[in-house]
Amino acid sequence: MENFILNNGVSIPAIGLGTWDNRDYNSIVETLKSAFKMGYRHIDTAGFYANEHLIGRAVKDAGIRREDLFITSKVWASERGYIKTMKVFEKTIADLQTDYLDLYLIHWPASPKRYADWDLINAETWHALEDLHKAGKIRAIGVSNFWVHHLEPLLKVANVRPMVNQIEYHPGYKQQEVVDFCKSNNILVEAWSPLGRGKMFSVDLLAQMAQKYNVNIAQICIKWCLQNGVLPLPKSAKPERLKQNIEIDSFEISTSDMAQINALDLGSSSGEYPDEVGF
């Protein structure tokens, strides 16, 4: 698997394995064992997923070396702020049975529609991540679900530029303004829900593309992300799907077909907008 290189020189596997909504230990350990055999090395989790302790056990049981993995976690909204972030980080690495993270993200920004001091909250949380990074406990730091008006004030006070912004991104919902801003600031965009929570499977254009390239719709979505310079984080517990999601080197989407997919505009599949969520 090819890697992306973050703005601090850290290498990150170009396809990650999403783990949201999987809280069954047997499912997690079997998924990870299958994924590791297929070549996955990038695991994306979060404190909010309530499965970090299960992933920690599963990684140990899978028998793969920690240094061969890239593990991402995130600070949940209720833990924003310097002191809370420092404290919850220790719980995260204890649950994951590791002494460091490869990437740590602010899961959602504090928004101006909900908090009068939203920019200060984001800044204090970010400074905690910076200090953990400086201490060598996190190899790379970033944000998640940040729009441009959240990023701009953060960049003004940041001592370390974010390396990643993880956002909802799939052929139906591209958030192009955010993507363009991140690329112009050398911030890698990661795609959560790159299959649109399954809604992309019913898009006629994508079905036509899948037939044309003799692949499935999930592979089209994942390849489309990569060809747009975005790191996809597909989620599956089925071995055949895991295999298909990572085996996307046999085809290249043409420039004209990329343009057709890029022209799709179906809106968010999750309905979760950073300035509208209730946390």
CB 128 within 8 A of CB 92: no
Who's near 189: CB < 8 A, 6+ residues apart? 164, 165, 166, 167, 169, 178, 179, 182, 183, 229, 230, 231
Residue 174 CA to chain centroid, in angstroms? 15
Q: What are phi and psi of 108, to 5 degrees?
A: -140, 145
Structural domains in the chain, sorted by start: 3-262 (3.20.20.100)
Residue 181, pLDDT score: 98
**Res. 254: pLDDT tops 90:** yes
Residue 247, pLDDT score: 94
Q: What's the rounded Cα separation, in Å, for the pair 34 and 242?
A: 8
Amino acid at 13: P
Q: What is the pLDDT of residues 59-107, one digit of tens each?
A: 998 889 999 999 999 999 999 999 999 999 999 999 999 999 999 999 9
Give catalytic residue positions: 49
Residue 2, pLDDT score: 85
Q: What's the rounded Cα separation, in Å, for the pair 170 and 65?
A: 32
Q: What's the rounded Cα separation, in Å, for the pair 37 and 34?
A: 5
Q: What is the pLDDT of residues 113-164, one digit of tens each?
A: 999 999 999 999 999 999 999 999 999 999 999 999 999 999 999 999 999 9
Q: What is the pLDDT of residues 161-189, one digit of tens each?
A: 999 999 999 999 999 999 999 999 999 99
The pTM of this model reads: 0.97
Q: Which residue has the tokens 């649109």?
A: 196
Q: What are phi and psi of 217, to 5 degrees?
A: -65, -40
Average pLDDT over residues 41-53: 97
Q: What pairs with residue 71 in β-bridges?
A: 43
Residue 1, pLDDT score: 66
Average pLDDT over residues 245-263: 97
Q: What is the pLDDT of residues 2-25, one digit of tens each?
A: 899 999 999 999 999 999 998 899
Q: What is the pLDDT of residues 172-231, one digit of tens each?
A: 999 999 999 999 999 999 999 999 999 999 999 999 999 999 999 999 999 999 999 999
**Res. 249: pLDDT tops 70:** yes
Print the SS3 string covering the chain: CCEEECCCCCEEECCCEECCCCCCHHHHHHHHHHHHHHCCCEEECCHHHCCHHHHHHHHHHHCCCHHHCEEEEEECHHHCCHHHHHHHHHHHHHHCCCCCEEEEEECCCCCCCCCCCHHHHHHHHHHHHHHHHHCCCEEEEEEECCCHHHHHHHHHHCCCCCCEEEEECECCECCHHHHHHHHHCCCEEEEECCCHHHHHHHCHHHHHHHHHHCCCHHHHHHHHHHHCCCEEECCCCCHHHHHHHHCCCCCCCCHHHHHHHHCCCCCCCCCCCCCCCCC
